[in-house]
Amino acid sequence: MNFKDYNLSNEMLNALEEKGFVSPSEIQALVIPELLKERTHLIGQAQTGTGKTAAFSIPILETIKPNKKVKALILAPTRELANQVSDEIYSLKGKKDIRVLAVYGGASIENQIKNLKKGVDIVVGTPGRVIDMINKGVLKLDELEYFVLDEADEMLNMGFIEDIELILESTNEDKKMLFFSATIPKPISEIAKRFMPEHKVLKVKKKELTTNLTEQIYFEVRREDKFEALCRVLDYKPDFYGIVFCRTKSEVDEVTNKLKARNYDAEAIHGDITQGLREKALDLFKNKILTILVATDVAARGIDVSNLTHVINYSIPQESDSYVHRIGRTGRAGNKGIAITFVTPQESRKLAQIKRETKSDIKKESIPDVEDILRSKEEVLVASVEEIMLENDYKPYLELAQKILKGKNTEAVVASLLRHVYDDEFIASSYSKIKNVKVEMNDNTRLFIALGEKDGLNVNKLLKLIHEKTKVPGRKIKDVKVMANFSFVSAPLEEAELIMKTLNKGKRKNDKPMVEVANSDKSSGDGKRKRSRGSRSKNRK
């Protein structure tokens, strides 16, 4: 497939050529012909980094009738993303007489208003600023041809749903709505149903969500050893260029500060860091001057880099979608990458869930041990000394060297200098011990079954029923509890899935399922987590 096969304008073909786009990505191949053929509401779903922006921008640019009244409004969750989208549209429009404007908070509203007043055809904005502009009466949305929600799942995560509804109220009825997202969580499909009863769903299949160029591994590690494990990875891989993902802003700060204290060149990005600093860090990172970026999911969304060597899940993501987003930052565009997830023993269920839902093989590996790290560091040092000597510019220092060496043992002199320069960086005892832990992967899933004593069941009868219907033997099922109206059983992951699938068969979409995963996360997980965090901060320096 080639862009030339589509019925695109010459301006567009030239712009594509200029950008170096030759063939459409999968999502583009699905969406572009569809929208060129006929305007429809649609949802486009594909992994991060697969070219969703151009998938909607190309047909919009090709089909709107520009008259300097806003014809397309594109909402994006962050300023960075709004800028990226407007840049992409700007570069795709080529010679077309179409005006594009990005509006977002944290930048002068006066300038944005001035530009809006000049007449604009396409507005890309963050929800808050768009609402401001509507309220000020400078953004009129009653001639829209397209309303686009970009990164819809992230919009949801950031709590923008009500804002989106508010904005929609100011728009004309007959526009077409396009939702683009890496994942389509329920609230998004519900909004879609509500605002666009008839819409197409075009998606790039889930199995392709994680790329096989990314090697996915996990380390079993205690919470209190995570930082040490991170340092070992960084030391073991001298060419490390990657993002360390944390769950919260304060964790981002904590990890970054500790890294800096150990002389690693790392910077943090998250929502509470000022725009200026964030942009500076991103800039350094994109140019590889900075090689370690510590980030929250949301802050990392706008980072348009594809050649990371590593993605570290310092905290295991809460959703498999966010796992996919995170690791999508490496192994792109033909580059190999490694995604490392730190998993504490309490998080085995989460890991199992992510493995299952992303259908990816996340392999267990051991944290690099100190000997290997030192060997790797020594190799680098030896190689760089050889390289330095090749530069052959040491002559001015020869005399001084002779003075220093006079009557001394050469090795002792070099060793003293190394000690002075590298302090204890090459000494094994400078690394703290990491305790071995085991993440139990034969995790049992607790199932809720909507059958109980009232249906004539007891433990034996329930096991028999399950065996008859699913062929899962009773010995695989543990902790059976039959209550008056419902029951609970625990079964290994695969069996649990089979039980759910088989016993829920024939149920219609809106029926209550017969079997569900019991909601035990809330009762066990969170509480424990908070306590262990408190105790950790006390016994660390």
Could you list the residues that contact Mg ion (CB under 5 A)?
52
Indicate left, alpha or beta for 49 from its phi (over 0: left) and psi (-120 to 50: alpha): left
Residue 24 within binding range of ligand ADP, rule CB under 6 A: yes
Residue 337 within binding range of ligand ADP, rule CB under 6 A: no
Pairwise CA distance, residues 354 & 34, whole Å:
33
Provide the residue count of the chain.
541
Residue 101 within binding range of ligand ADP, rule CB under 6 A: no
- Binding segment for ligand ADP among 22-30, 216-224, 372-380, 381-389 (CB under 6 A)? 22-30
Size, binding site for ligand ADP by CB under 6 A? 13
Pairwise CA distance, residues 501 & 471, whole Å:
13
Residue 77 within binding range of ligand ADP, rule CB under 6 A: no
Helix ranges (DSSP H) in 338-473: 348-358, 370-390, 395-405, 410-422, 459-470
Minimum CB separation from Mg ion for residue 249, in Å? 23
Residue 446 within binding range of ligand ADP, rule CB under 6 A: no
- Contacted by 78, from ligand ADP, Mg ion, none: CB < 5 to 8 Å by type: none
Cβ partners under 8 Å of residue 142, min gap 6: 170, 171, 172
- Strand bridging mode 266-269 / 444-449: unpaired
Q: What is the dihedral of CA 361, 367, 368, 371, to 10 degrees?
A: -150
Q: Tell me the angle at which helices 109-117 and 127-135 cross, rounded to the nearest 10 degrees.
A: 60
Task: Name which of 102 and 233 has its Cβ closer to ligand ADP.
Answer: 102
Task: Name which of 182 and 370 has its Cβ closer to ligand ADP.
Answer: 182
Minimum CB separation from ligand ADP for residue 61, in Å? 14
Structure tokens at 344: 């504490």
Pairwise CA distance, residues 158 & 181, whole Å:
14
Task: Name which of 259 and 282 has its Cβ closer to Mg ion.
Answer: 282
Pairwise CA distance, residues 205 & 363, whole Å:
23
Taking CB atoms, the residue at the shortest distance from ligand ADP is 51
- Contacted by 21, from ligand ADP, Mg ion, none: CB < 5 to 8 Å by type: ligand ADP
Minimum CB separation from ligand ADP for residue 150, in Å? 7
- Best CA proximity match to 278, nearest among 155, 106, 130, 124: 106
Task: Name which of 52 and 270 has its Cβ closer to Mg ion.
Answer: 52
Residue 54 within binding range of ligand ADP, rule CB under 6 A: yes
Of 49, 94, 125, 331, the residue at the interface with ligand ADP (CB under 6 A) is: 49
Of 28, 78, 358, 490, the residue at the interface with ligand ADP (CB under 6 A) is: 28
- Binding segment for ligand ADP among 43-51, 126-134, 215-223, 274-282 (CB under 6 A)? 43-51
Pairwise CA distance, residues 20 & 333, whole Å:
14
Task: Name which of 203 and 377 has its Cβ closer to ligand ADP.
Answer: 203
Task: Name which of 41 and 52 has its Cβ closer to Mg ion.
Answer: 52
Residue 445 within binding range of ligand ADP, rule CB under 6 A: no
Pairwise CA distance, residues 153 & 191, whole Å:
12
Residue 183 within binding range of ligand ADP, rule CB under 6 A: no
Residue 56 within binding range of ligand ADP, rule CB under 6 A: no
Residue with tokens 């998938």: 55
Task: Name which of 178 and 439 has its Cβ closer to ligand ADP.
Answer: 178
Minimum CB separation from ligand ADP for residue 22, in Å? 7
- Best CA proximity match to 314, nearest among 373, 368, 241, 243: 243
Query: Binding string to ligand ADP for residues 271 to 310, with x set by CB under 6 A, is what?
Result: ---------------------------------x------
Which H helix or E strand runs over 294? strand 292-295
Q: What is the dihedral of CA 42, 43, 49, 52, to 10 degrees?
A: 10
Going across the sheet that includes 444-449, the strands are 478-482, 487-492, 444-449, 515-517
Q: Which residues bind ligand ADP (CB under 6 A)?
A: 21, 24-25, 28, 46, 48-54, 304
